[in-house]
């Protein structure tokens, strides 16, 4: 059975599809993944090599058992080649693991017990959510190693730490958006920075433009940050400027999103500025690569706009760039859109994930009930 390579709608890389056969030679499943190659011929070569490796592993019992540190580096290199937004965190995890795990550990020793011990040690100096990020990374190392035929420990089931308290849903409150956008205004005057007229065309000004444009895009589309920064121009309707088709790699689905008036203006301007790049938000240093996960400028603007004052954090939770996604959903819920429709627009794989906005819909329904009852009293 031939190995296939194909393109994802929102990725510059070719992906492989390798058939898995049973003892009778019948296809029972497929292995799919990225070749991390932009050239089709190179992608086919990678896919064939992986197919042969899987065949040897299944039929000959030949499985490599490289050092765990080597495999972790391979996974980080692959993520970096794809421009994934969490490479910085992965490198941080790598440094911590190298100081806590023996250097002689191999991939076959990565099991549930090893990960559980790492969770407990990591939790002493880090937040619970960051421990779960470490767990997700180690699970991805295990899964990628299994997929390429390394000698992984069989029948492993990994779990993250359970959250002790319900997560708060922070979104932009009345009056907060103008304050934030004022702090992100790319034309603003800043202490110790050249005037706007002198910054035009510089990498520094592109960063300021990106921070403002990204924020508006996140608020008006509800995209995940990584989806936004890896967005390709061929997914945007650059003829009629009516919307975009966004592939959501986290959940493996695709959805259509319309454009607000201000977002349309931003995309049209960016298309004039960055049409030489396949990405809507290219890297300032290399237009052929995505911008990546760089939120320092946006986070600083959030602090300057006083969105994380102690009383706000206590009541609503800390404001982060992910809260723009909550803002998008909350505004729709507060204005009567159904949770099912919101779930589609957010690209949720399960409508259960959208239930966090149900109280906003119920509040609106409660007021409607009051209006109906008041009318009945007349």
- The enclosing domain of 234 has a CATH number of 1.10.443.10
Range picked from 39-48, 72-81, 258-267 for highest mean pLDDT: 258-267
H, E, C per residue of 197-213: HHHCCCHHHHHHHHHHH
Q: How many domains does the chain have?
A: 3
219 inside domain: yes
Indicate the helix (H) or strand (E) that contains 58.
Answer: helix 40-59
pLDDT of residue 62: 47
CA atoms within 13 A on the CB side of 308: 11
For residue 353, how many other CB atoms are within 10 A of its CB?
A: 13
52 band by pLDDT with thresholds 50, 70 and 90: confident
For residue 73, is pLDDT > 60? yes
Q: Is 376 exposed, middle or buried (0-12, 13-18, 19+ CB in 10 A)?
A: exposed
The span from the CA of 332 to the CA of 339, in Å, is 9
The span from the CA of 150 to the CA of 66, in Å, is 8
For residue 48, is pLDDT > 70? yes
Residues 210 and 240 in one domain: yes
**Could you tell me which residues come within 8 angstroms of residue 62 by beta carbon, excluding any fewer than 6 positions away?**
56
For residue 59, is pLDDT > 60? no
For residue 167, is pLDDT > 70? no
Where helices occur in 148-260 by DSSP H, the ranges are 176-184, 196-199, 203-221, 225-229
pLDDT of residue 210: 94
For residue 39, is pLDDT > 50? yes
Domain limits for position 229: 176-365
Residues 114 and 206 in one domain: no
For residue 57, is pLDDT > 80? no
Residues 203 and 344 in one domain: yes
344 band by pLDDT with thresholds 50, 70 and 90: confident
For residue 165, is pLDDT > 50? no
Q: Of 25-29, 85-89, 175-179, 230-234, which range is least confident?
A: 25-29
17 inside domain: yes
Distances in Å between the Cα of 367 and the Cα atoms of 334, 339, 373 are: 11, 18, 10
54 inside domain: yes
87 inside domain: yes
Q: Of 60-64, 94-98, 141-145, 305-309, which range is least confident?
A: 60-64
For residue 377, is pLDDT > 80? no
For residue 222, is pLDDT > 80? yes
DSSP per residue over 325-339, as a string?
A: HHHHHHHHHHTT--H
152 inside domain: no
Residues 50 and 94 in one domain: no
Residues 198 and 298 in one domain: yes
The span from the CA of 23 to the CA of 310, in Å, is 63
Of 22, 42, 59, the last residue of a domain is 59
Residues 236 and 348 in one domain: yes
Residues 265 and 352 in one domain: yes
Residues 186 and 335 in one domain: yes
Residues 36 and 87 in one domain: no
pLDDT of residue 38: 86
Residues 251 and 114 in one domain: no
Which is more confident, 174 or 10? 174
Which is more confident, 180 or 320? 180
pLDDT of residue 200: 85
pLDDT of residue 226: 81
Of 17, 37, 59, the last residue of a domain is 59
């Amino acid at each position: 059975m031939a190995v296939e390579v194909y393109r994802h709608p929102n990725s510059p890389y070719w992906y492989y599809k390798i058939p898995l056969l049973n003892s009778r030679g019948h296809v029972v499943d497929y292995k799919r993944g990225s070749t991390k190659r932009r050239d089709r011929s190179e992608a086919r070569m990678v896919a064939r090599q992986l197919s042969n490796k899987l065949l040897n592993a299944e039929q000959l019992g030949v499985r490599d058992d490289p050092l765990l540190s080597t495999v972790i580096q391979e996974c980080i290199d692959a993520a970096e080649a794809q421009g994934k937004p969490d490479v910085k965190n992965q490198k941080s995890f790598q440094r911590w693991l190298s100081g806590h795990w023996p250097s002689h550990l191999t991939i076959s020793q990565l099991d549930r017990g090893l990960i559980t011990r790492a969770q407990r040690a990591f939790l002493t100096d880090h937040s619970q959510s960051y421990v779960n990020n470490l767990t997700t990374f180690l699970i991805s190392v295990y899964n990628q190693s299994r997929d390429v035929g390394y000698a992984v420990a069989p029948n492993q089931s990994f779990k993250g730490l359970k959250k002790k308290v319900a997560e708060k849903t922070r979104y932009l409150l009345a009056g907060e958006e103008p304050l934030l956008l004022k702090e992100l205004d790319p034309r603003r005057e800043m202490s110790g920075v050249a005037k706007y007229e002198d910054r035009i065309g510089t990498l520094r000004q592109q960063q300021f433009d990106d921070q403002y444009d990204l924020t508006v895009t996140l608020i008006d589309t509800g995209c995940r940050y990584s989806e936004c920064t890896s967005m390709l121009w061929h997914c945007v309707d650059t003829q009629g400027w009516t919307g975009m088709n966004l592939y959501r790699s986290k959940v493996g689905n695709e959805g259509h999103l319309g454009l607000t008036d201000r977002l349309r203006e931003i995309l049209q301007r960016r298309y004039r500025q960055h049409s030489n790049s396949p990405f809507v938000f290219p890297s300032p240093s290399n237009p052929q690569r995505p911008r990546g996960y760089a939120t320092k400028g946006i986070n600083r603007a959030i602090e300057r706009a006083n969105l994380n004052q102690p009383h706000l954090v206590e009541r609503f939770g800390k404001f982060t760039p992910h809260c723009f996604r909550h803002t998008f959903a909350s505004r729709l819920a507060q204005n009567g859109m159904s949770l099912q429709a919101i779930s589609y627009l957010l690209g949720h794989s399960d409508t259960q994930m959208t239930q966090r906005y149900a109280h906003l819909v119920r509040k609106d329904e409660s007021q409607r009930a009051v209006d109906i009852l008041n009318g009945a009293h007349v």
